[in-house]
Amino acid sequence: MNAKRLVLILGLAGFIVMADNWVVSPILPAIAASLHVAPASAGVLIAAYMLPFGLFQLVYGPLADRFGKLKVITVTLALFTVATGLCGLGLGLADLGAYRALTGLFAAATMPISLALIGDLVPMAERQTAIGTFMGISFLGQALSMAIGGTIAYLVNWRGVFISYAGLAAIITVVLIVSTRRLSGQVTRRSRGSVLAPYAQLLGHGPSLRAYLLIVFEGIFILGSFSYLGANISQVFHFNYLGIGMIMTGFGVGAVLAGRISGQIVERTGRKRLIAGGLFLGAVADLIVAAFSGSLVLAVLAVFLLGLGFMLAHSTLLTLATEFARQARGVAMSMVTFCFMVGGAVGTGLGGRLITAHGYPGYFTLYGVLLLALSLAGLVVIAEELEEGEAAVVVGR
């Protein structure tokens, strides 16, 4: 199998996972209305997904490095399909939350393990292009998910969103199994060793530890902000779910655009400045929402800027992380997603309480100010060794 075909197939898997990953936010008002709860209370569904999505990164990284990355991706994608279908059958907040938790649990493997697999199989000279293509296809799923999810919720209901996504995931799973059945024998595996040792080595290394902590706070404020954008748009403009989904598509468009241009920008600015710049754009987006939420044009701009800033910062952090542990990329990349999604779960859970106490303007103002502080911190905590790609951890067997 050539590299382009491999990246395309893995990109399809990433496409459906990212589409499902972000779909709850635009349809959150619909779910809340159907279940007779407040949108801030329904935000627990986002946290229910994010927590297992982040926690199980720590499981899948060592499993993939030991038993085979392709096998882990295939099995978890099949189980993800079943869990997504169950979400369409949820009758209350409790059981729907449980189904979303299962979905997050099985979705956790696809993105980081696919990136690690590309790192193993694609030569270094072609790897940057391959990773950029994979991320572009995957985040196209996120971009389209906003509009598709909102449209299905408008024409059918929010349950139809999950049923439709489950059907698409089933098709992609079959394509993945059939197209890569001859590839498994080419994938090398690490010999058996301690599961916890690679994590201990990564966290015991100062430059990588500081980068992981930055990713945690990025998740808290970026994902925390994103989680309630749909509910804020609904409250201010009283749009239907199609309108909400169309506006929030701007986040995905900004993310896809940033993924395409970040490689060119980083050559001129350097990695730490691009990380700081991306976080700064996220802060600007939050402050626009807080101060000018009544303006539709500025609301659309804020959603776009949040997606643009997110991907500029996160894709750069992701690139740094691919060199944290060259002999255990599954573990290194899993730790990135673990930190980001746990941060997102914390940011979303805390956000629901802050909105109840201070309303949406106070919430977005606070997160915007804290993102500004995080932007400045990014200039300090990213070590020069990481900037130059010279701080890799040698992970033993």
Q: What pLDDT score was predicted for residue 393? A: 57
Q: Which of 305, 290, 307 is nearest to 355 (CA)?
A: 290
Q: What pLDDT score was predicted for residue 134? A: 83
Q: Which of 252, 77, 71, 104 is nearest to 169 (CA)?
A: 77
Q: Which of 249, 260, 318, 316 is nearest to 137 (CA)?
A: 260
Average pLDDT along the chain, 397 residues, taken 10 residues at a time: 80 91 79 83 82 84 85 95 93 90 94 86 69 78 75 84 93 89 57 66 84 94 88 84 78 82 82 92 96 89 93 84 74 85 86 90 95 94 62 51
Q: Which of 162, 40, 37 is nearest to 99 (CA)?
A: 162
Start-to-end Cα distance in the chain: 28
User: In the structure encoding, which two tokens stand for residue 43, read together?
Assistant: 């935000």
Q: What pLDDT score was predicted for residue 62? A: 85
Q: What pLDDT score was predicted for residue 80? A: 97
Task: Give the span between the Cα atoms of 273 and 294, in whole angstroms.
Answer: 32
* Amino acid code (one letter) for 150: G
Q: What pLDDT score was predicted for residue 92? A: 87
Q: What pLDDT score was predicted for residue 384? A: 63
Quickly tell me which residue has 């701009």 as its tokens: 301
Name all domains of the chain by residue range, CATH numbers in brackets.
3-181+189-386 (1.20.1250.20)
Q: What pLDDT score was predicted for residue 64? A: 86
Query: Strand runs (DSSP E) across 105-197, as ranges?
Result: none
Which distant-in-sequence residues (6+ apart) come within 8 Å of 105 by Cβ?
52, 53, 56, 83
Q: Residue 388 carries which DSSP code?
A: T
Q: What pLDDT score was predicted for residue 110? A: 93
Q: Which of 146, 138, 78 is nearest to 111 (CA)?
A: 138
**Cβ–Cβ < 8 Å for 334, 112:** yes
